[in-house]
Amino acid sequence: MRYQHLDLNLLVALDVLLDEQNITRAAGRLHMTQSATSGVLNRLRTYFEDDLLTQVGRKMMPTPLARELHPSIREILFKIQTSIARRPIDEPATSKRHFRIMASDYVINVLLKDVLQVVHQEAPSITFAFLSPDPQSTGMINRGEIDMMAAPEQFMPTDQPSALLFEEQFVCVTWAGNAEVGATLTLEDWQRLGHIAVEFGRERIPGLEETLFSEFGLNRRLEVVANSYHSLPHLLIGTTRVATMHRRLAAQYASHLPLRIEPVPVELPVMREFMGWHRSLDNDPIFNWLKAKIFASTTASLPPI
């Protein structure tokens, strides 16, 4: 499709190029070769009579015109996606919508897996893709590459709507046969015993609880580092170690594994888990139906410690 001699497909490429500011990464997202992506950039430069991206050292930086254009291009593309490319189906039972949700395995297991059971009964043709949390999540939701994201409050995009899903606490978990822990887990126990913790991705990003402990000036003696909170309960069995994890997830595992759940021996802040989405979905009937199902699931009772 062309508008005043501009191939509108080039706007998709320009959005990605300005977002990545790197030919190689942009080519990967566009499923094009680097040379083809460079050719697209040259065509865009010719149309706009501007370099759009200029080489500064090892980086490509957007020109003033590119910075001015980018928000408008992103908004145009998202409006096309949500108002033209999507059929106006408003009945869940017949909808064939596909939702892309960015959420951690923790949120999937304590909340979204139950939502999918309900949705499958009422809207069996709706499908889902779950994406792992990503440092680029804000950009992805702004571009419409994901429909919604679940994350702690501090990671929510500030320019899109969001709402509180639930509040969560961290707890300490030990093997039920751990003789090193008395009637309660004291701070002295916590400091004396070895710990199991999580780190994520190639960057080895620690779990949120590590940041909270650091704010109290507390350092754990790490003896095992895993890549998922779901590994922690199994790795505790038969050891004297301690793990710190989300209360809901700990309660799930303690229901069928020999585990003890104890309060963290310092008062950590409550974690607030939010759901965010692009504002253009606010009047989408199927999206609002799904969102209502998700928020209704958060009213499930939480077992006491």
Tell me the pLDDT tens digit for each residue of 35-78: 888 888 898 888 888 999 888 877 888 898 988 888 888 777 77
Specify which of 26-30, 215-219, 283-287 reaches the highest per-range mean pLDDT. Answer: 283-287
Residue 294 has what pLDDT? 95
Token duo for residue 51: 């370099």
SS (H, E, C) the chain: CEECCEECHHHHHHHHHHHHCCHHHHHHHHCCCHHHHHHHHHHHHHHHCCCCEEEECCEEEECHHHHHHHHHHHHHHHHHHHHCCCCCCCCCCCCCCEEEEECCHHHHHHHHHHHHHHHHHHCCCCEEEEECCCCCHHHHHHCCCCCEEEEEHHHCCCCCCEEEEEEECEEEEEECCCCCCCCCCCHHHHHHCCEEEEEECCCCEECHHHHHHHHCCCCCCEEEEECCHHHHHHHHCCCCCEEEEEHHHHHHHHCCCCEEEEECCCCCCCEEEEEEECHHHCCCHHHHHHHHHHHHHCCCCCCCC
pLDDT at 19 over 60: yes
| Domain spanning 2-83: CATH 1.10.10.10 | yes
pLDDT confidence band for 18 (50 / 70 / 90)? confident
pLDDT at 1 over 50: no
pLDDT confidence band for 84 (50 / 70 / 90)? low
Lowest-pLDDT range, 18-22, 35-39, 298-302? 298-302
Q: Angle, nearest 10°, between helix axes 9-20 and 23-30?
A: 140
Residue 90 has what pLDDT? 67
Round the average pLDDT of the chain to a whole number and report it: 87
The 10s digit of each residue's pLDDT in 114-134 is 999 999 999 999 999 999 887
Token duo for residue 110: 């304590």
Under CATH, which architecture does the 170-263 domain have?
3-Layer(aba) Sandwich (3.40)
pLDDT at 12 over 50: yes
pLDDT at 81 over 80: no
pLDDT at 27 over 70: yes
The 10s digit of each residue's pLDDT in 193-204 is 999 999 887 778
pLDDT confidence band for 2 (50 / 70 / 90)? very low
Decide if 98-167+271-297 and 170-263 have a common fold: yes
Specify which of 9-18, 60-69, 228-237 reaches the highest per-range mean pLDDT. Answer: 228-237
Instruction: Enumerate the domain spans of the chain.
Output: 2-83, 98-167+271-297, 170-263
Over residues 292-298, mean pLDDT: 91
Over residues 252-280, mean pLDDT: 93
98-167+271-297: CATH number: 3.40.190.10
What percent of the chain has a predicted confidence (pLDDT) above 90?
Answer: 48
